[in-house]
Structure 1
Amino acid sequence: MSPQSRNDDILDFAILWLPLGGPTSATIWSMFRMSAFEYRLSLADALRFHQDRLTDGRRNLDRVYGASILSQLADDLTNSTRRAA
């Protein structure tokens, strides 16, 4: 599995868990065999990659939706990192 493919899987996983407040550490471990800290780092990488791709200047509904969900995930990631510190 390529690193980008794994990050895409992590991003999809985070989007599914977003309405539920995010996954537990045990759920993260069972899915990806990584700690919650490693998960947050991988999720941050995936968010940066996809946010950069969405800012190429073109606008359509898919890009607006994508930017919206990525922005929400980025906010949640930032807030969870602050709570953990």
Structure 2
Amino acid sequence: MYALLLGILLILLKYLEIGPVANWSWWWVLSPFAVAAAWWAWADATGYTKRKAMEKMDQRRKDRINKQKESMGMGPRRPR
């Protein structure tokens, strides 16, 4: 995500000819997009994206269960 934002910022600076970026080659300006694409390819190939999504869903489920227990006056279970 950061590489994508950096790429957009560099394109904007290059287009508006602001600062030293105006003299840079387009290859350097567009390189953060290649880094972002490589990151997304690696994250999808290794299962990182899916694992993070599953962890988020599990945490939301646990929070929902604990909230329902608290509303019934039972309180969450303590780990053994």
TM-score by length of 1: 0.36
TM-score by length of 2: 0.38
Larger-Rg structure:
2
Which structure ranks higher in relative contact order (CA pairs < 8 Å, sequence separation ≥ 6)? 1
